[in-house]
Amino acid sequence: MWLAMAVAPVSTSDAGQPVPQNLEFDIVHDGGVVGHHRITFREDGDELVVRSDIAIDVKMLLLTVFRYQQTREEVWRDGRLITFASTADDDGTPYDITGEARPDGLHVTSGTETWILPADSLPASYWNISMVTGTGPLVDAQSGSMLDAKVLKVGPETIRVDGKEVATTRYKLGAERPRHLWYDATGRLVKMRAVGRNGSAIDWVLK
């Protein structure tokens, strides 16, 4: 079984199915914007190509105390993940991984190492609600390893997005350093909150 995802916005194989709307987030810490995250979608024949660019630069007294950059690309066909690639610089630590879905599972490569993850694995890129409601394990978008994190549906919540009140469903992922995710009625990610290494919250705010 390939990496099936049931939520319609992932697939563009049907003639009437639109390409998902691009997403632009400000990344906010302690009330200030410290970075940006852009997710773009485009059709390439019968495939959906999803590109993600993240840049974070946290300063203290005009000096950079933390820097993070990541570029990621996913290719989907008929609602199934075909390939992905990710490069990242986590405050000086580099990461470079690729993945390919094959009949026996998701083959992930980093440098000279290759490992196989379960065929129903899903990338933890979070842009679609099915990445937290799917039955398969989540794969860390930076390291390519499986996330040992339980997903809890917190419930409905109305939040403010770009000056408007939006009805969402909130999910919590993990416990020690939890991540909170808010999705609107279409399954689109509209807000995310991550807990940093020092325990402080970092919010993704949709523009």
Please give the pLDDT value at position 4: 31
As a whole number of angstroms, the distance between CA 174 and CA 78 comes to 29
Nearest to 117 by CA among 134, 135, 137: 137
pLDDT digits over 119-156, tens only? Answer: 889 889 999 998 899 888 899 988 998 888 889 999 99
Please give the pLDDT value at position 62: 80
What percent of the chain lies above the pLDDT cut of 90? Answer: 64
Question: What is the mean pLDDT of the segment spanning 195-201?
Answer: 79
User: Is a pLDDT exceeding 90 seen at residue 158?
Assistant: yes
Please give the pLDDT value at position 186: 93
Where does the pLDDT of residue 79 fall: very low under 50, low under 70, confident under 90, or very high at 90 and above?
A: confident
DSSP secondary structure, 79-130, as one string: TEEEEEEEEEEETTEEEEEEEEEETTEEEEEETTEEEEE-TT-EETT-SBTH
Question: What is the mean pLDDT of the segment spanning 197-207?
Answer: 88
Place of tokens 């290494």: 197
User: Is a pLDDT exceeding 70 seen at residue 17?
Assistant: no
Mean pLDDT is lowest, of 1-5, 187-191, 194-198, for: 1-5
Please give the pLDDT value at position 9: 38
